[in-house]
Structure 1
């Protein structure tokens, strides 16, 4: 029986004026954590002489000491990566680093090593098909989010890592959110409920809220690394949201979409294909809930019972305009 230790990083997004609520969770096994974050950090160095080198503190950077990197360049490259910030007028650093992070995702998906896998689950809630009154008196949707946040985590724990594995969750992180941090249930509900599951243990029974901007933490603070993972799931969540809903006509977003379309096309249309060259099976998942408006019935005691809804992927992905990137033809068919 396998013993797996991991951390979870999560973020949210709202689409079409909260018609859809997106929940994104990134599952990072302990043995993979430094490998991936070092890739993300190293991609910040845009110096052509040494593109795989990055030190947060500029005075310790070899590129700065030998004169090949200027102070202002280092500062620009130390930017927060945020999908909503990827648009016309962004800095060169934001554009280049964002593209590199998408490249990292695609590259690791092409590899078949367990240690290189990137695990994530994204769930979109169709709020117009859910009766929020069934989830309590809160009208903001936070109770609905709380309920399905656990679903977004629990399903992948079993399907990604095996029902018979012993899973230890060291900590669950969420991008800082005042309404969630002050919510009556959110901070403790999911960790406590997960601890009731067989073969799942959560060490910290409170969700940790952290700022996605790594510059708000000192380099030796663990949250300096953790905040990079919040940025990464933000980018993944935002990128996939664009593919499904296309809220913006921004040319920059479309050009980025062209890059990752070969992955999302397969993940969306053929989620259970174990032979895909992108190796997402049992490691990455995207879905919408519910397929149809959820109905209710009354039990013999007069209690309202929600009928089970279905997850779906019925929305057709937008087609990218192949104008800027020359993909190999096989990328669209494997």
Structure 2
């Protein structure tokens, strides 16, 4: 293992950030969280992590944290993530995901933080000409969310070329599931993730699940996506962090997925199997910009970091999401 690192985790009270904090603690590192709690939850942050409430655009606060905590590296999760909202309110996304990232990168450079892991997205590819998608395929985003993340990737690349700094941009596919020990999970109100919606429906929090489009060029006509367990994603961040520190001259842009996919119907069938119940499914028209299939080619991350997923099992992902949803009900009613 690399020596103990002091890691600033932006958005560490959110879904993926809170799992990354757990993974950092398990690897023997020291996570320091900054979150404005607009979509995150203070209770989602592990008690062994240091917490600051604030915004990443507050440069004085970021600089103070870097000095007070002796920050070695940054894991950057803070940002906005709802694709339809980005189409309706592009300026919010360019501010939260691009402008504020620029401010954070500048704080890192000017105060000697030399490593950054960036939470990017498969939305940077837009509608790829073929699937699985490789990292060297064209990046032509079709919505402001994807563009705002791609612009940050570009900034990181340019900054790494000009400064003593390296980065890893991880392009996530569809993140799902929850911490196997039920310590944190997807808690956002009105979340748009399919599995989150399905487990809410399974527990009676929603009447039905909408299926958008049944005429795609897939086996059952519904869209196919690459679902990655959030804990596997978190472990990829820790491995990437240690690789950046071990080889400070090299940066990486890598897909983070399992390399195979499930259709909307297959995910809903899995929820039915695990709960021994039948979800109410509402067939709706397609949403603009949804590709038939979006699956990662994950050979590069496996070859580069030796990353091997532990939870590549749809029913297990559903079980963890369901267990968390039940626990969340207890938290919300406590």
**TM-score range with shorter-chain normalisation?**
under 0.3
Relative to the length of structure 1, the TM-score reads 0.28
**Structure with greater contact order relative to length (CA < 8 Å, sep ≥ 6):** 1
Relative to the length of structure 2, the TM-score reads 0.28
